[in-house]
Amino acid sequence: MTAPTARNVPALLQGLRTEGFSGTVRVSGLPGGSIHLRNGLVGAIETPGAPTATSALLTAGRIGDEDWLAACAAEPDADRLGGHLVAEGLIGAAELEVVCTAAVFDAAFAMALSPPGSWELSDREPVLLAEPGVEPRRLTEEASRRMALLSRLWGPPGELTRVRPARVAEAAPRGSDGWLARRHRDVLDSVNGRRTPRDIAFALGRGLYAVMLDLIRLEALRLVQWETRTTADGRPSTAPRVPQAEPTTAVRTTAVRPPEAAPLPKRRPGGASPAQDVGQKKKGG
């Protein structure tokens, strides 16, 4: 097998396509993931960076949990699970193809957001597959297109995955955005200043790339923002805690300053806790 000597993951997949490889490519890194190939075509990708087809089907409620569990029990080989779902009338074959294919492209995009680490090949692992699978070259081209579009619309896509969007406080109140597409309203209802685009994608069972595009659109409409805010919306701050000399009623607009260097408090035999040493004078006795 010559593929493992490839210079990068796209070249590796292309080599495996030529060989008609069926098995799994485990890619380390952040987020990393497992690429499942059948006859050299990419049938599924599992990565912490994007929801899988299973996640999309279940989270969006396309297939109920009980139906899903029953199908998995009836067809333990996940490679053949798709056929079983269709045979049971839980989803159409064409729709399942769309869901699985979309998940493959989205996961490839998510993995392309950061440089991969090493990789290793392993045996076939059963997984819900896009039939017949996606040509590796097309995956690479689409991921590149997505990166280029996000770069043009917003900036570095890798940074966009780390923002934590929030609703614009002075934007129109909830309920007055009925002209927005439903998916935009869903995203708008999901942002809370703590979730990243990836979190939102998993919460909604949608693709990471689709959520990122919608967030860019919502930002352009001035409905969401992602500046770092520490106190404006009253949410708990994750900034380093520093002792404040005295509370003030003035609005704090400057960034929190890092604590100044000081020796650590020392425990004294028979004394009080270090906190008391620092904050209070010990009363006599």
Partner 1 sequence: MGEKGTALQASLDRLLDSPGVNGVALIDAVTGLTYCTAGDIAEAGDGPEVSEFAALIAERLGAAGADGELESVVTTSTKRHQVLFSVVRPGGDPLILAAGLDRDRANMALALRSLGDRAAEVLA
CB of 150 to partner 1, least distance (A): 11
- Tell me the residue type at 251: V
Count of residues engaged in binding partner 1, rule: CB under 8 A:
39
**Residue 282 touches partner 1, criterion: CB under 8 A:** no
Options 25, 102, 128, 223; binder of partner 1; rule CB under 8 A:
102
134 binds partner 1 (CB under 8 A): yes
**In the numeric block, which tokens belong to residue 273?**
């806790």
- Residue in 274, 281, 229 with CA at minimum distance from that of residue 256: 229
Residues 160-219 that bind partner 1 (CB under 8 A): 178-183, 205-207, 209-210, 213-214, 217
**Separation CA 228–CA 249 (nearest Å):** 22
Which CB sits closer to partner 1, 124 or 138?
138
Rounded least distance, CB 83 to partner 1, Å: 11
- Asked if residues 276 and 267 have their Cβ atoms less than 8 Å apart, the reply is no
CB nearer to partner 1: pick between 94 and 255? 94
The region of 9-17, 58-66, 158-166, 244-252 touching partner 1 under the rule CB under 8 A is 58-66
Helix residue spans in 46-177 (DSSP H): 53-59, 65-74, 81-87, 93-112, 136-153, 157-160
Cα separation of 23 and 105, whole Å?
A: 18
Minimal distance, residue 1 CB to partner 1, in Å: 25
Non-local (6+) Cβ contacts of 110 within 8 A are 31, 33, 47, 49, 50, 198, 208, 209
Query: Residue 19 or 97: which CB sits closer to partner 1?
Result: 97
167: Cα within 13 Å, side-chain hemisphere: 17
Cβ-proximal residues to 214 (8 Å cutoff; 6+ apart), any chain:
183, 184, 187
Contact between 101 and partner 1 per CB under 8 A: yes
From 125, 131, 199, 277, residue interacting with partner 1 (rule: CB under 8 A): 131
Tell me whether residue 181 or residue 239 sits nearer to partner 1 (CB atom): 181
Measured in degrees and rounded to the nearest 5, phi and psi for residue 214 equal -65, -35
Three-state DSSP at 182 gives: helix
Kindly state the smallest distance separating residue 130's Cβ from partner 1, in Å.
9
Q: Give the nearer residue to partner 1 in terms of CB position, either 203 or 210.
A: 210
Q: Do the Cβ atoms of 118 and 28 come closer than 8 Å?
A: yes
Q: How far is the CB of 96 from partner 1 (least distance, A)?
A: 8
Binding to partner 1 by residue 57, rule CB under 8 A?
A: yes
Contact 34, 46 (CB under 8 A): yes
Binding of partner 1 by 44 (CB under 8 A): no
Considering only the stretches 126-134, 195-203, 257-265, 269-277, report the one whose residues sit in contact with partner 1 under the rule CB under 8 A.
126-134
Binding interface with partner 1 (CB under 8 A): 56-57, 60-62, 86, 92-95, 97-99, 101-102, 105-106, 131-132, 134, 138, 142, 145-146, 149, 178-183, 205-207, 209-210, 213-214, 217
